Structure 1
């Protein structure tokens, strides 16, 4: 019998692996619906949907390995990162999906959320005030008008699989929809700034790196408290708090 592996689990959802099948358990049926819809529309490799029985979605495992993980070394070559950049560009150039995604929150809503989170981080003593204040200043550059693109919305490097220098697929599409393309690029390179140039070479167009740096700060500020409260460690080497420190 295949061994059961818990890939990720928290109060909102869980993902299990049994052999070559991933089982995603999510009580929010709308999130599963959005994921299946996005995978059907995305012009890039995605996992095969095997079956759905709410609250479970079963998908086939992808060939290859991930490019790495936040807080760990990259296992992919520069060429693999470049290939990933080209794949991301293909997604961003695709016709817009019908739904707004996580990367599509309005500037006003995002500003309000960020300001409230910064206040909580300082009031609770979770992060030093100077660290929060500096990164809030950096984050300002991300709060600007943007043209909507087809975005993944949670494009961590652990969600991109490669075999050699070829991208074999992208997983976890529950946050996909219309959004800011630079949010995806920032999420993908978070904690791996050394590969930003490789990614942008593959992406193939001029990108404002200052906005990507701003998204690194913004995303990390919004994530630290949630991660801490859900059993993850944003203070681990190379993770969100180190990303914030690198902007000082």
Structure 2
């Protein structure tokens, strides 16, 4: 067992034990999830059905319920394949959720047929949050996000990333206007498919209200290259594309500087500079 898996098992065992202590529900931890969900494990209920247990530190149940969990419930009501939440428990300063295990495996090979299905899902996100109090998504273009979208690593790395950070911070948008549901982390690792058919979209922890074009920009950063998707991005309103691209550039370049080998950083800077 690798160190990563050992730590994941310890965390999931702790989370399951706390759920049992607080609710009386005994969940058997089967092992960590891979390929899209950090801080998540497969669990089995007393009746035998399987689910996904997740934990998120530094948040309260009420914050999740008026944000990401509410977004998912609205989307499920219109037929969107997002996981049902089966249990929510406050454990100290963290929230543990147990969610439906969606069918399928993460996408390994991208093609236009999958993009067609993604666009159908993206259309379902349009306007569904109108009249709700779900908060608009912050973009972190002028201040740091909570552990991601940090500005200082770009300022400090070299002249090129420092110049990129200045262009990002010059985008004068705080949030994306709109009443669309936005996933925020819409990449192939969070899309499930069986035999080429999309069966589920997972990992909605950051979801909120804004413009659904943000998810298409996120997807573009996740699939590396797609002329067709680039053409679709060109059709987005300029302010949406500019703000979403700036946010994803900040997110990925910052993360690459802090977590990826040095040789990989330039790839993300090259991609960022295509539209900034």
TM over 0.5: yes
Matched, 1:243 2:275: no
RMSD across aligned positions (CA):
3.9
Aligned to 2:126: 92
Tell me the secondary structure at the aligned position of residue 63 of structure 1: coil
Aligned to 1:194: 225
Matched, 1:168 2:194: no
Unaligned runs of 5+ in 2: 1-27, 45-49
Residue from 41, 50, 54 that aligns with 2:74 = 41
State the 1:134 CA deviation.
4.0
The structure with more radius of gyration: 2
2:225 and 2:41 map into 1 onto residues whose CA distance is 31
Taking structure 1 as the reference length, what is the TM-score of the superposition?
Answer: 0.70
Taking structure 2 as the reference length, what is the TM-score of the superposition?
Answer: 0.64
Write the mapping of 1:39-188 to structure 2, written as runs, cut at 5 A.
39-42=72-75, 43=78, 44-54=80-90, 55-68=95-108, 75-96=109-130, 97-101=132-136, 104-105=137-138, 110-113=140-143, 117-118=150-151, 120-124=152-156, 127-134=157-164, 136-137=166-167, 143=173, 147-148=177-178, 149-188=180-219
Matched, 1:14 2:39: yes
Q: Which moved more, 1:173-182 or 1:56-65?
A: 173-182
Higher relative contact order (CA 8 A, sep 6+): 1
Contact 1:217 1:243 in 2 (8 A): no
Contact 2:252 2:268 in 1 (8 A): no
2:172 and 2:198 map into 1 onto residues whose CA distance is 28
Contact 1:38 1:177 in 2 (8 A): yes
Unaligned runs of 5+ in 1: 69-74
Q: Which moved more, 1:24-33 or 1:83-92?
A: 24-33
Aligned to 1:206: 235
- How many residue pairs end up in the alignment? 225
Contact 2:68 2:207 in 1 (8 A): yes
Aligned to 2:32: 5
Contact 1:45 1:170 in 2 (8 A): yes
Aligned to 2:4: none
1:185 and 1:139 map into 2 onto residues whose CA distance is 22
After superposition, the C-alpha distances for 1:111-141 in whole angstroms (9 at most, x for unaligned) are 4227x954x23553xx321233146437756
